[in-house]
């Protein structure tokens, strides 16, 4: 990632950032994918560097609700992915790449209509197909980028499963890209521990149990084991990115 080239100062003015987001939204709404990726090329490094606690997120929320939600998810996944990569003793270079990969893994969701993406009710088979399409469309989006094209396997394979029952291609075991296997674990953890339109979050402990239950079926068993031992002892970064309110009540069912 070349943060210097993209010019962090250029984005110091929050209004400029919001303007870029408006432009991105326009490109996505008009299916101008190539132009959208060229804006993302500038936005992704900036957003990765942002301290989300200082960013005026409500303004972005008003500008583009979908982007706001996806940015938060991307940021959390990239941090969890970085920590897991460290625990797996990856090289510094690989850790940085996995962190960026975690940030862009779901980029394909930006071209899905939010009425489908955040639908509360049961999805129709066609809508489910559209959601699943984010893996390949994310790869396509990234193919327009020089600096992010290397993350195509992560976008395309992060929903593959260890036993071959995933999508879009049903790739199995270690044939699934290493970073995609890693991100699938932290992505699932984040999905379970944060509120979504279609489900309430569950406590981290239950999410960890679920990761353990799906080890060797959905997840790479070694990575799952390392994640479980790491997340159980590293609450600091975990708690920092959990959505509020985080308290799970018995009455929530």
Cα 114 to the chain's mean position, in Å?
A: 16
Q: How far is the CB of 250 from Fe ion (least distance, A)?
A: 30
One-character DSSP codes across the chain: --HHHH-GGGGTSHHHHHHHHHHHHHHHHTT-HHHHHHHHHHHHHHHHH--TTTS-HHHHHHH-HHHHHHHHHHHHHHHHHHHHHHHTT--HHHHHHHHHHHHHTTGGGGGS-HHHHT--SPPPHHHHHHHHTHHHHHHHHHHT-TTTGGGHHHHHHTT--TTS--SSS---GGGS-HHHHHHHHHHHHHHHHS-BTTB----HHHHHHHHHHTBTTTB-HHHHHHHHHHHHH-HHHHHHT--S-----GGG-
Q: In this chain, which stretch among 33-41, 78-86, 99-107, 193-201 interacts with Fe ion, using CB under 5 A?
A: 99-107
Q: How far is the CB of 105 from Fe ion (least distance, A)?
A: 6
Q: How far is the CB of 155 from Fe ion (least distance, A)?
A: 8
Residue number with the smallest Cβ distance to Fe ion: 106
Q: How far is the CB of 7 from Fe ion (least distance, A)?
A: 30
Which C-beta is closer to Fe ion: that of 21 or that of 188? Answer: 188
State yes or no: residue 160 binds Fe ion (CB under 5 A): no
Which C-beta is closer to Fe ion: that of 39 or that of 112? Answer: 112
Q: In this chain, which stretch among 101-109, 117-125, 206-214, 226-234 interacts with Fe ion, using CB under 5 A?
A: 101-109
Question: Other CB atoms closer than 10 Å to residue 207's CB: what's the count?
Answer: 19
Q: How far is the CB of 49 from Fe ion (least distance, A)?
A: 23
State yes or no: residue 106 binds Fe ion (CB under 5 A): yes
Which C-beta is closer to Fe ion: that of 97 or that of 106? Answer: 106
Q: How far is the CB of 134 from Fe ion (least distance, A)?
A: 6
Could you say which residues in the range 212-251 bind Fe ion, by CB under 5 A?
none
Which C-beta is closer to Fe ion: that of 20 or that of 105? Answer: 105
Which C-beta is closer to Fe ion: that of 46 or that of 104? Answer: 104
Which C-beta is closer to Fe ion: that of 83 or that of 106? Answer: 106
216 in Cβ contact with 162 (< 8 Å): yes
- What are the angstrom distances between the C-alpha of 196 and each of 25, 176, 201, 215, 228? 22, 27, 7, 23, 23
Q: How far is the CB of 39 from Fe ion (least distance, A)?
A: 21
Which C-beta is closer to Fe ion: that of 12 or that of 113? Answer: 113
Q: Which residues bind Fe ion (CB under 5 A)?
A: 106
């Amino acid at each position: 990632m070349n943060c210097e080239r993209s010019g962090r100062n250029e984005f110091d003015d929050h209004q400029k950032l919001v303007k870029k987001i408006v432009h991105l939204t326009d490109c996505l709404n008009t299916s101008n994918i190539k132009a959208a990726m060229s804006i993302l090329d500038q936005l992704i490094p900036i957003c990765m560097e942002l301290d989300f606690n200082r960013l005026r997120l409500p303004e972005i929320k008003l500008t583009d609700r979908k982007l706001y939600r996806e940015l938060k998810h991307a940021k959390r996944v990239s941090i969890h992915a970085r920590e897991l990569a460290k625990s797996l003793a990856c090289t510094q270079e690989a850790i940085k790449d996995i962190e960026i990969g975690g940030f862009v893994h779901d980029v394909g969701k930006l071209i899905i209509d939010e009425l489908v993406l955040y639908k509360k009710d049961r999805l129709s088979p066609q809508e489910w197909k559209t959601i699943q399409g984010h893996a390949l469309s994310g790869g396509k989006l990234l193919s327009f980028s020089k600096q992010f094209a290397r993350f195509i396997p992560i976008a395309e394979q992060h929903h593959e499963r260890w036993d071959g029952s995933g999508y879009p291609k049903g790739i199995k075991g270690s044939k699934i890209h290493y970073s995609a296997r890693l991100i699938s674990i932290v992505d699932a953890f984040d999905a379970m521990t944060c509120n979504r339109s279609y489900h309430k979050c569950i406590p981290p402990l239950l999410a960890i149990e679920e990761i353990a239950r799906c080890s060797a079926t959905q997840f790479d068993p070694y990575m799952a084991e390392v994640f479980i031992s790491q997340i159980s002892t590293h609450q600091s970064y975990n708690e920092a990115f959990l959505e509020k309110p985080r308290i799970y009540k018995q009455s929530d069912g």
